Amino acid sequence: MNFYRSNLERITPYSPGKSIEEIQQRLGIEDVIKMASNENPLGVSPRVVEALSRCLPEVFRYPDGSAGKLTKKLADKYGLTSDQVAVGNGSDELIRQLSTAFLHSEDEVIYPSPTFSEYAWGARLMGSIEVAVPLTADDQYDVDKILAGVTSHTKLIYVCNPNNPTGTYLTRRQIQHLVENLPARSILVCDEAYAEYVTAGDYPDTIEWVREGRNVVILRTFSKAYSLAGLRLGYAMAPKRIIDLMKKTREPFSINMLAQTAGLAALDDTDHLSKTLRLNTKERDRLTEGLGKMGLVVTPSQSNFLWVKLPKSAGVVFEELLKSGVIVRSGEVWQRPYHIRVSVGTEEQNDRFINSLKRIIN
Ligand SMILES: Cc1ncc(COP(=O)(O)O)c(C=O)c1O
> Is there an atom of ligand 1 within 6 Å of 87 CB?
no
pLDDT of 231 reads: 98
pLDDT of 362 reads: 85
pLDDT band per the 50, 70, 90 thresholds, residue 100:
very high
Inform me whether the pLDDT recorded for 148 exceeds 90. yes
> Is there an atom of ligand 1 within 6 Å of 236 CB?
no
Inform me whether the pLDDT recorded for 311 exceeds 90. yes
pLDDT band per the 50, 70, 90 thresholds, residue 17:
confident
Residue type, 353: F
Section 298-310 average pLDDT? 98
pLDDT of 15 reads: 79
Strand ranges inside the chain, DSSP E: 33-34, 85-88, 108-113, 129-134, 154-160, 187-191, 216-221, 234-237, 297-298, 305-309, 326-327, 329-330, 339-343
> Is there an atom of ligand 1 within 6 Å of 39 CB?
no
Phi and psi torsions of 157, nearest 5°:
-120, 110
pLDDT of 292 reads: 97
- Does the predicted TM-score (pTM) go above 0.95? yes
pLDDT of 355 reads: 97
pLDDT of 1 reads: 80
Mean pLDDT over each residue of the chain, to the nearest integer = 96
Ligand 1 pocket mutation, candidates 118, 196, 255, 307, criterion most atoms within 8 A of CB: 118
pLDDT tens, position by position, 196-222: 999 999 999 999 999 999 999 999 999
Section 258-277 average pLDDT? 98
Three-state SS for 303-321 is CCEEEEECCCCHHHHHHHH
pLDDT of 232 reads: 98
Q: Which atom of ligand 1 is nearest to the CA of 116?
A: 1
Inform me whether the pLDDT recorded for 135 exceeds 90. yes
> Is there an atom of ligand 1 within 6 Å of 97 CB?
no
> Is there an atom of ligand 1 within 6 Å of 116 CB?
yes
pLDDT of 238 reads: 98
Phi and psi torsions of 135, nearest 5°:
-70, 170
Query: Within a 10 A sphere around the Cβ of 237, how many other Cβ atoms?
Result: 25
pLDDT of 217 reads: 98
Contacts of residue 248, Cβ cutoff 8 Å, sequence gap at least 6:
101
Section 61-79 average pLDDT? 97
Q: Which atom of ligand 1 is nearest to the CA of 37?
A: 14
Section 116-132 average pLDDT? 97
Query: Within a 10 A sphere around the Cβ of 335, how many other Cβ atoms?
Result: 9
Ligand 1 pocket mutation, candidates 111, 164, 304, criterion most atoms within 8 A of CB: 164
Residue type, 236: A
Inform me whether the pLDDT recorded for 291 exceeds 90. yes
Which residue intervals of 183-269 are DSSP H helices? 207-211, 240-247, 257-268
pLDDT of 2 reads: 87
* Residue nearest (by alpha carbon) to ligand 1 atom 12: 193
Q: Which residues pair with 40 in a beta bridge?
A: none
User: Of residues 26 and 334, which shows the higher confidence score?
Assistant: 334
* Residue nearest (by alpha carbon) to ligand 1 atom 7: 91
Inform me whether the pLDDT recorded for 240 exceeds 90. yes
Distance 174 CA to ligand 1 centre (A): 23
pLDDT tens, position by position, 244-267: 999 999 999 999 999 999 999 999
pLDDT of 28 reads: 87
3-state secondary structure of 145: helix
> Is there an atom of ligand 1 within 6 Å of 139 CB?
no
Section 14-29 average pLDDT? 86
